[in-house]
Amino acid sequence: MGIEFDWSILLIVLPFVFLGGFIDSISGGGGIFTVVGMMIAGLPMHMVIGTNKTSALFGTAAATKNYIKNGYYEKKYIPFSAIAGIIAAFLGSYLGNVMSNETLTKLMTFAIPIVGIIMLIGFRPKEQNITYSDQKIYLLSALVGGLVGFYDGLIGPGGGTFYIIGFTLIGLNLLQANGNAKIVNLVSNIVSAFIFLFKGRVVIWLVIPCIITSVIAGHLGSSLVIKNGDKIVKPAVVMVIILLIIKSVFKF
């Protein structure tokens, strides 16, 4: 089903894309803003997920470049988490494409408040001063990549946050966890975006300005050292959850 060009959709979606890309590069979870913006604009859920994944891919790449340049990642954790993330994202994206629009909408409406609550309370596990054997690192990193990759492929919003939580729990500090999360999230997004593009579930005329906006926002967010980030993140999360509730109740 093609979506005809509509200026009103651009005007609704792009501010959400910028806010989402900016926050995602700082704390993860920014996809909830883009998804809710597209839902408010009235796009079908398959198109929402496909367009969001494709635009987020480029924003994540911009943020990832900054983390790699500054050395905020741990190489040992990447290969197995990335491989598991690729496989799981493929399976999740395939499942998402065969689900009905109604089922995906229900899943998304359930997932977004959960991600929002995690962001509101600022949940981050304490850094674990634990030294694991290489074998255990490979196993645990693959587990993180597989579990989060499947969720990211199926739905998406909050995937970056869940990667950060997972990598912190298995021994990385927050900066390294954030960098590894960006790298693995990038490769799982590539797989998901390709599948949704192949299925024709990306709004091309919308995704191009979304990509530009997402790249700019991701670069700005990952380049700035933001003090008291909750002052930006928490009000924005409250706003997007309220909008989602209004959208769900009144079906506008």
Closest by Cα among 191, 247, 241 to 50:
191
Q: What is the pLDDT of residue 234?
A: 60
Helix axes 159-169, 134-154, angle to 10 degrees: 170
Choose between 156 and 193: higher pLDDT.
Answer: 193
Mean pLDDT of all residues belonging to the chain: 81
Choose between 47 and 116: higher pLDDT.
Answer: 47
pLDDT at 250 over 60: no
Average pLDDT over every residue of 133-150: 91
- Interval 226-249: pLDDT, tens: 444 556 656 665 666 666 666 555
Closest by Cα among 50, 46, 58 to 99:
46
Percentage of residues in the chain having pLDDT higher than 90: 29
Percentage of residues in the chain having pLDDT higher than 70: 80
pLDDT at 108 over 90: no
Q: What is the pLDDT of residue 113?
A: 79
Domain ranges of the chain: 7-250
- Interval 48-63: pLDDT, tens: 999 988 887 877 787 7
Name the pLDDT band for 168 (thresholds 50, 70, 90).
confident
Choose between 63 and 86: higher pLDDT.
Answer: 86
How far is Cα 49 from Cα 52, in angstroms, rounded to an integer? 5
In one letter, which amino acid is 223?
S
Q: What is the pLDDT of residue 240?
A: 61
Name the pLDDT band for 28 (thresholds 50, 70, 90).
low
In one letter, which amino acid is 16?
F
Cα pseudo-dihedral 156, 69, 236, 106, rounded to 10: 0
Name the pLDDT band for 38 (thresholds 50, 70, 90).
very high
Q: What is the pLDDT of residue 217?
A: 82
Q: What are phi and psi of 11, to 5 degrees?
A: -65, -30
Q: What is the pLDDT of residue 226?
A: 47
